[in-house]
Amino acid sequence: MSSRETILGRIRAALSDRPAADVPAVPEVWPETDADRATMLARFGEEIEAVQGELRRCGSIDEARAGLAKLVGELSCSRLGAVDRPLARELVEGLAAAQVAWVDDQWDKTALGRLDAALVTADLLLADTGSCVVECRTAEERMMCYLPPVCIVAARAGSLREHLPAAWQDLVPRIAEPDRRGEFVIVTGPSRTADIEKILILGVHGPKRLVVFVVE
| 4-27 as b/e: b if 16+ CB within 10 A | eeeeeeeeeeeeeeeeeeeeeeee
Q: What is d(CA 200, CA 216) in angstroms, rounded to the nearest whole number?
A: 33
pLDDT in tens, 159-171: 999 999 899 888 8
Between 179 and 79, the higher pLDDT residue: 79
Average pLDDT (55-82) is: 95
From residue 80, give the alpha-carbon distance in Å to each of 25, 118, 136, 145, 172: 40, 6, 18, 13, 32
Asked if residues 67 and 58 have their Cβ atoms less than 8 Å apart, the reply is yes
Confidence of residue 5 (pLDDT cuts 50, 70, 90): confident
**3-class DSSP state for residue 213?**
strand
Average pLDDT (124-141) is: 94
Q: Give pTM, 2 decimals.
A: 0.82
Confidence of residue 3 (pLDDT cuts 50, 70, 90): confident
- What is the percentage of the chain residues whose pLDDT exceeds 90? 59
In this predicted structure, what is the pLDDT of residue 25?
67
In this predicted structure, what is the pLDDT of residue 206?
62
In this predicted structure, what is the pLDDT of residue 43?
96
User: Using the 8-state DSSP alphabet, how is residue 25 labeled?
Assistant: P
Domains and CATH numbers, the chain: 38-215 (3.40.50.10420)
Mean pLDDT (the chain) is 86
In this predicted structure, what is the pLDDT of residue 7?
77
Q: Is 70 exceeded by the pLDDT of residue 27?
A: no
